[in-house]
Structures are given as C-alpha cells and as structure tokens.
Structure 1
Amino acid sequence: MTRLRSLAAVAALGLTAAALAGCVAKSDVAASDALTVDSSASACTVSAATATSGTLAFEVTNSGDEVTEFYLLAEDGLRIVGEVENIAPGASRTLTVVAQPGEYFTLCKPGMVGDGVGRAGFTVSGEKVEASGDDAAQKQQAVDLYAAFVKDQVEKLLPAVQQFAAAYASGDDIAAQEQFPRVRAYYERIEPIAESLGDLDPKIDYREVDAVAEGLDWTGFHRIEKDLWVPAQDALNSDDVTPAWQDWAPSTDAQRQGFADGLVADVQTLFDYVHSDDFTAALEAQGVAGLSNGAIALLDEVANGKISGEEDWWSGTDLWDFAANVEGSKMAFSLVGDFAAAKGDDGAALVEDIEAGYADLEAKLATYGSLDAGFVDYAEVTDADRRDLTALINALAEPLSQLTGTILE
C-alpha cells in the first residue's frame, strides 16, 4: 500500500458527477413549490416521490430531538447529489439542487451518524438541463460535494468500527470476521484523508511489515485481523522472510480490549477532523485538481498493494478493499469529468477512454462478487486472473494520468 501521499490526494474519493448538481439561487426554483421533508427520529417523509428535472428545493424540517441532515443520493445510493446538515430540532433548512432525469434516493440522518433512516426512491422525469452557475462556482460545488461524501462515509465508519471492535474485544470472532471487510470499505473510500494526518493512518491501517520497518507499535485493523484469522504455518514462508506464525501468540483479553479501544479512538479522531474547519480549508486549497489527483492515487492503491494480495494477508478479503478503492476513484473522476470533457474533442475523447476503462475493470471485478454480496477469498484468484486485473488497471491508469493536466489547461 502506498503510504506517503501529498495533500492533493486528500481530495480524492468519490462523489457524483458535476452535471447532477449545480450552483443555483433559491429564486431560480421552478414554479412548482418546494418539496417538503419531515425528518423525525425514525422517518424521512418527503411530500412527493417524483419531480420534473430542473432546479428543485427541499424544505427540510426537523421534528425529532437530535440534530439531523438530509441527503439526495444518486441511483447507486452512494454518490451525493446534494445535502443539507446541522438542522437543529425544530428548525428548517432548504436544499436546492439542479436535478437531471433519473432515479435517486432521499435519506435523513438523525444524530448525523450511521446509515440514516427513511431511505426512499425519488424519480426525476423530463429533459436534461444545464446546471447554472459560473465555472468557479461549479468547481466549488464539486469540492463541497466531496466534503459531504467524506463526512457521510466517516459517519458510517465510526459506529461500524465501534460494533466491530466490541465483537472482537468480547471474543465473538465469527461476528468480527463477517464485519471486518465491510467496515473497511468505508475507510478505503476515504483513506487518503487519514493518510494526510501524520501517524493516523499508520495507527489505523498499517500492515505488520510496514510497522516493523518503521519501528512503530503495530495497531489497527490488521493487528486485529491477525487475531481473527490465526496465521497459517506457510504464510510468508520463504527462505528470506520470517513465517508469520513464528514467535506469534494470540492477544490476551486485555490486549484485545486495548487494540479495540485504540481503533475506535483513532477513528473518532478522523471523525472530528472531517467535521472541522481545517478539513474544509484543506479541500478548498486543493480544488478540483485535488479531486482529479485523488482519483489517480486511489487507483495506485490497488496497483501497489491490493493486486498483490498483501493488504489483507490473513483474511483474504483484499477484493473488498480493491473494489472500494476503484469505487472511490471512479466517483472522484465522475465529479470532475465534465470539466475535462469541456476542453474540446481531445478532452471528450479522454473522458470516453476513462469511462471505458472503469467499465472494463468493474466488469472483471463483478465476476468475483460485489461489496454487497461479498467476494471470493483472494487466494481463489489465479495468477492469470491477477495478470488480467493488472492489465485492466494499467489500461485505465494511462488515460486517467492525463486527467489533471486536461482539467487545468
């Protein structure tokens, strides 16, 4: 795994295409009145499930007893088209977006942590419309949506890690094993954020070999992984590498509790950071070039660690990490792709090549499973298939490497 990364990579990971949401004024809302949303402790009730394409306004009222937020999500249920947060109990706020024809989801998140409540389908019909706002405003919107995506992922990561850590500390290894790759997917989509914060990523996600090489205490996901999947005697077994099982003993109950508490505390630090002004300032300093560079960096994560099977050595869950990195990279590209396509025929052709590269790589990954249904153990992926995956990564990496330069022309 690539561990040293510039701050430009922080603005990476995924969001929705810029065409999905534009910078608009409330006065531009079409004659149809604003949609109303009631966010309660257990529901997210929208006044209509359909609308006509164009500028939409959602007036969100919080009838619950916790601060809440409201999301309009793209059809994949992950990309954020628009969001409004920090709605206090009894207060109302308005989300205004330019919505293209398509299928979406609405969702509220009482407490601003977890998966949210009241997720429901929302259909936009009509003709495609152009998002309003000048170029600078559109680019700022892209950065704002990225910030919203990161917050959403960390808000899901924190309670998932708390549950995972509790299962591990209590000795419920079966539950912890099942949760391990799914919890990590949230982290893998936003990993460059932690990598920008000094020793935070090493605490959360260093492999044993990385920690030993740098003389660090080994903690985090992979330290827990080694307890959950007892090392086989042939792991890392070669003439010049010490076998993983040698001089190893399972953690005591007290040690397990310590590793569990440490992981939760480190993820809490990440949570606090992405909800801070420092995070906002870092993203704005990098702009859309940071998002583009991040799409490239996340693909590098796959090429430099996941494809070799070195990431999740004992669990064999590398394909979950692989898929989450690709997913994040693709969404970052989709956010800035319109800026590249606007640079003329060459830019449009570059975008087409990148889109085709992602489609080919995703199709190959789908033969092994999915993030929702699960993947096969990475040991089942043959050397020939790993070579095929490497070829697909390289085929995508070449045009993707030109993305930032094209955007900045």
Structure 2
Amino acid sequence: MPRARPVLQNRPVRRRLVAVAGSIAGTAALAAALSGCVPNQASATDEAIAVTLDDAKCSVSTDTAKAGPITFQVTNKGQDVNEFELLATDKLRIVGEKENIGPGTTVNYVVQLAEGDYFSACRKGMVGQPTNVAKFTVTPGDTKEVPESESKQVAQAVANYTGYVRDQAGALLTATKTFAAAYSSGDDAAARSQYASARSFYERIEPTAEQFGDLDPALDLREADLEQGQEWTGWHRIEKDLWPPAGYTATGVAARGPIADKLVADTQKLYDLVRAKDFSLTIDQISNGAIGLMEEVAGSKITGEEEAFSHTDLDDFQANLEGAQVAYGVVRDIAENKGSAGKSVVTKLDSEFKTIAATLAIYKSGTGFVPYTELTTEQVKELSDQVNALSEPLSQLTSIVVK
C-alpha cells in the first residue's frame, strides 16, 4: 500500500502561471509556444473506474474494487484545477492521489491497494479540506501467481530506488547546510552559485518528499501560491533575497538566520524520514513518481514559473528529468517483461528520454544552464513538444508494471 501522509490544511496549488521575460515576446507568444503542453488525454478502458470532477463535487462510478492494481479514469469537467484522492479510514491520511488535473482533462491514475476500507475525495484548486468524501471498499482480489523471478525483480527495484532516495536526501542535506551558511552570512555570490545545484537533489526526489505532509510546501512553496496570512519559507523565499526584483528590499543579514535555520531543519526532517526504519516504497509509487516528475516539468519548469527570480528553471528541468530517468530505469526491465505492450512502451520511452536529454544539453552553460529568459519562443516550443512526446508512453508505465 502506498505510504500514507497527513492531509494538509490549505495545501498550495502549483498553478501554471505564465512567466514572460527576456527574449519571449509576451503572453500570447508563450501561450502559442506551449499550446501542446497539457496533460495527455487518457484512452478509454472497460477496466477503469470512472471519476468525474467539477467545481462543486466529485463522483466515483463504484464504491468497491478488488485488491491489487486499480485504475481510476478521472475527468475534470470544472473550470479549476482539481485533485483526486484516496484516504485511509481516519479520513486524514492520503494513501493515493492524482494532482494537477486541469479543466477539460481526462487522466488514468493507477494505484495498488490492499484489501480494506478507504474513502475517495476531491480537492478543488488543490487547497483546503477534501470534499465529497465517500466510502470506498477494497475487497479481496483474485489470487495471482507471481513468478518468483518477478517478485525478486520487484524487490530489487524497490531496494535500489529506496537507496537512491536516501542518497539524494543525504546529498541535499549537506548541500543545503553549505548554501544556508553562505546566505545567512551575507555571501550572496556564493549562495547564488550554489542555489541551483543544491536544489537539484530535492528536485530529483520531489514525489517522495511530497508524501510527508507539509514538508514540500515548507521547502518549495512559490510566492505565487501563498495563501492569505501564510508564512513563506524555503528555497524560493531565499531565492527572492538573492535575486531581488525591482522594488523589493532583500532581507538584511541580521534577520537571515531564522530563515536559513528553518530551511536546514526542514531538510533534516526529510532526511530523517527517508532514513527511518519504517520508510518504504512500492513499485507503483516509483513508476508514478517518474510520471509525476515529468508533470512537474510540464506544469512549471517549461513555463518558467518555478524560478521566478533566479530563472534557473532549466536546472530544475534537468533534475526532474534525471529523477524520472532513475525511477524509470529501476522498473524498466519489469515493464519490458510484460509482453508486447511492455516492450513497445519501453522502446518509446528509451527513445524519448534520449531525445529530450540531448535537446536540454544544448542549453548547458558551465556547470548549469542558461537562464530560462534566454530561450526563444521556438526553443520553448521544441522542449514542450518533447515533454509531451515523453509523457504519452510514460503515462502507461504504472499500469504495465503492476499488471
């Protein structure tokens, strides 16, 4: 079963706010460039459980399913971004979720659930309390004889990826401490030079970090997503001080200590959680993590909204891509062994990952990348088209791996 995490109060939504700067001529030009950069429409399937969302309610076509991999086909008929969730019996802990379901979008979400009682819910705008909470029961599934070789393969994949997450969290903690020390001491040049590289460790494992309640917004909340009266902490709070926009007065050195300390403390929490003995991942969380990382790219990096002040979005893009490649890599052989459908998806993914990595490499500059604001409309369009081309076969990965 996916690892449960607490429901957040007023959890921020990562809205696609279009940022236009530099050589990009304006909102209309960027909108045209990104006209294809939307979630793929899911194909119909008789096995999927239909879920319909709108701005007032959500409904699930059945309240029962058999244990094992379960596919929900979620359609958002509203005007706002929405989220579909599966809650534990306490109606607080989230055991599965599909975020960023845009208006007019249909997506397939595959999750592996054990026998037991759950609740389905939705969250318009991805903030506030879940709504339309309804009981959802998972009954005993059909007995399936899993070959010992496959069981060992899955166990090894989970072990490998768990080790990767822990390694990245450790590197993140070390880099964050160094970065925070430079920021708090007023050495802005050193802090700016470390910002993107330190954040890359987080960006590679962000779907795992999101499992732990309010840690993701504490670490990675953007100013555009702040709720009224909400405290702003984390990387982007410091980013604004290091690249202050016109009219903004950066925090003085004397007041930076608590901001830096909070970033380090929250990073330490993440490190401790993934190093805990009871930390565990499932194979569907790993493959869904690869999907989620590329959705992050499509939802914020490719639009230039993630790094609103430093414009280091391509560094984040690269880290998300690397994290997705690792997650895909540990489940690749499992997918390839799932018949012709698995082989077909693997062939497409191998090719698309290679293509997008090669294109992104064009924009390397020193140890990082050129600022996002230096990209032309045509260059943004090329990257967004390649993200879409990768997302289509990637969206099928979990259903193939767990079948």
In structure 2, which of residues 188, 194, 197 is the aligned counterpart of residue 173 of structure 1? 188
1:397 aligns to 2:397 (yes or no): no
2:381 counterpart residue number: 387
Structure 1 CA distance for aligned equivalents of residues 352 and 197 of structure 2 = 25
Structure 2 CA distance for aligned equivalents of residues 297 and 345 of structure 1 = 25
Question: Offset of 1:215 from its aligned partner?
Answer: 4.0
Question: Offset of 1:8 from its aligned partner?
Answer: 5.7
Alignment map for 1:279-358 (pairs within 5 Å): 279-280=279-280, 283=281, 287-358=282-353
2:171 counterpart residue number: 156
- Aligned AA for 1:392? Q
Question: Offset of 1:252 from its aligned partner?
Answer: 2.4
1:218 aligns to 2:215 (yes or no): no
CA offsets per residue over residues 49-85 of structure 1, 9 Å max, x none?
xxxxxxxxxxxxxxxxxxxxxxxxxxxxxxxxxxxxx
1:270 aligns to 2:267 (yes or no): no
Partner SS for 2:307? coil
- Aligned AA for 1:276? A
Question: Offset of 1:133 from its aligned partner?
Answer: 6.1
1:202 aligns to 2:217 (yes or no): yes
Label 1:367 to 1:201 Cα distance change in 2 as closer, same or farther (>3 A).
same
Label 1:373 to 1:253 Cα distance change in 2 as closer, same or farther (>3 A).
closer
Partner SS for 2:386? helix
- Aligned pair count reads 267
1:144 aligns to 2:159 (yes or no): yes
Structure 2 CA distance for aligned equivalents of residues 184 and 325 of structure 1 = 11
Question: Do the aligned partners of 2:208 and 2:289 also contact (CA within 8 Å) in 1?
Answer: no
1:249 aligns to 2:264 (yes or no): no
Question: Offset of 1:292 from its aligned partner?
Answer: 1.0
Structure 2 CA distance for aligned equivalents of residues 9 and 330 of structure 1 = 22
Question: Offset of 1:2 from its aligned partner?
Answer: 4.3
Partner SS for 2:244? coil
Label 1:325 to 1:164 Cα distance change in 2 as closer, same or farther (>3 A).
same
Identity over aligned residues, as a percent?
46
Structure 1 CA distance for aligned equivalents of residues 354 and 197 of structure 2 = 23
Question: Do the aligned partners of 2:349 and 2:393 also contact (CA within 8 Å) in 1?
Answer: yes
Question: Do the aligned partners of 1:203 and 1:219 also contact (CA within 8 Å) in 2?
Answer: yes
Question: Do the aligned partners of 1:195 and 1:201 also contact (CA within 8 Å) in 2?
Answer: yes
Q: Which sections of structure 2, spanning at least 5 residues, go unmatched?
A: 1-12, 16-82, 86-93, 99-146
Structure 2 CA distance for aligned equivalents of residues 209 and 215 of structure 1 = 13
In structure 2, which of residues 191, 203, 206 is the aligned counterpart of residue 188 of structure 1? 203
Label 1:263 to 1:320 Cα distance change in 2 as closer, same or farther (>3 A).
same
Question: Offset of 1:312 from its aligned partner?
Answer: 0.7
Question: Offset of 1:338 from its aligned partner?
Answer: 1.0
Label 1:385 to 1:219 Cα distance change in 2 as closer, same or farther (>3 A).
same
Partner SS for 2:268? helix
- Aligned AA for 1:143? V
2:260 counterpart residue number: 260
Structure 2 CA distance for aligned equivalents of residues 139 and 402 of structure 1 = 18
Question: Do the aligned partners of 1:158 and 1:268 also contact (CA within 8 Å) in 2?
Answer: yes
CA offsets per residue over residues 26-48 of structure 1, 9 Å max, x none?
xxxxxxxxxxxxxxxxxxxxxxx
In structure 1, which of residues 227, 230, 237 is the aligned counterpart of residue 244 of structure 2? 230
- Aligned AA for 2:362? T
Structure 1 CA distance for aligned equivalents of residues 255 and 207 of structure 2 = 28
Question: Offset of 1:201 from its aligned partner?
Answer: 1.0
Question: Offset of 1:340 from its aligned partner?
Answer: 1.3
Q: Which sections of structure 1, spanning at least 5 residues, go unmatched?
A: 11-131, 234-244
CA offsets per residue over residues 287-344 of structure 1, 9 Å max, x none?
2111111111100000001001011111111111000001111111111111111122
CA offsets per residue over residues 209-262 of structure 1, 9 Å max, x none?
112x3642001101101110111x3xxxxxxxxxxx4xx322122321111011
1:407 aligns to 2:393 (yes or no): no
- Aligned AA for 1:134? S
Greater Rg, structure 1 or structure 2?
A: 1
Question: Do the aligned partners of 1:188 and 1:321 also contact (CA within 8 Å) in 2?
Answer: yes
Partner SS for 1:151? helix
Question: Do the aligned partners of 1:9 and 1:294 also contact (CA within 8 Å) in 2?
Answer: no
CA offsets per residue over residues 262-302 of structure 1, 9 Å max, x none?
1000001111101113322xx1xxx2111111111100000
- Aligned AA for 1:290? Q
Question: Offset of 1:194 from its aligned partner?
Answer: 2.1
- Aligned AA for 2:389? A
Structure 2 CA distance for aligned equivalents of residues 149 and 136 of structure 1 = 20
Question: Do the aligned partners of 1:219 and 1:259 also contact (CA within 8 Å) in 2?
Answer: yes
CA RMSD of aligned residues (A): 2.1
Structure 1 CA distance for aligned equivalents of residues 304 and 397 of structure 2 = 28
Structure 2 CA distance for aligned equivalents of residues 385 and 8 of structure 1 = 35
Structure 2 CA distance for aligned equivalents of residues 397 and 141 of structure 1 = 26
1:112 counterpart residue number: none
CA offsets per residue over residues 166-217 of structure 1, 9 Å max, x none?
0000000000000000000001011122211111111111001112x36420
Structure 2 CA distance for aligned equivalents of residues 193 and 227 of structure 1 = 28
Label 1:193 to 1:386 Cα distance change in 2 as closer, same or farther (>3 A).
same
- Structure 1 segments (4+ residues) deviating >2 Å: 1-10, 252-255
Structure 2 length-normalised TM: 0.63
